[in-house]
Amino acid sequence: MIAILALALASCGGKPTSSAKTDPEAEKAAALERARHDAFGTQVQALDKAKSMQDDLNKKAAAGLDKADEASK
């Protein structure tokens, strides 16, 4: 019993098998892609849609400001 416990403790203290360094940005992108198809898929897709709407509204607002500047000249 003690020998089994000693072997179990010795095996837990080992180094990780993967010594390759990961790129944080690549891991973040991969995690986001996994989340799109996981349990949080709906929330991630809603976030993507909100970000695209924000970009669209910013473009429309900038175009409106440009038109207002042209009209005031």
User: What pLDDT is stored for residue 19 in this prediction?
Assistant: 53
User: What pLDDT is stored for residue 59 in this prediction?
Assistant: 94
Q: What is the pLDDT of residues 17-29, one digit of tens each?
A: 555 678 899 999 8
User: What pLDDT is stored for residue 5 in this prediction?
Assistant: 60
User: What pLDDT is stored for residue 3 in this prediction?
Assistant: 66
pTM confidence score? 0.44
Give dist(CA 65, CA 12) in Å, integer.
63
Give the N- to C-terminal CA distance of the chain in Å, as an integer.
Answer: 90
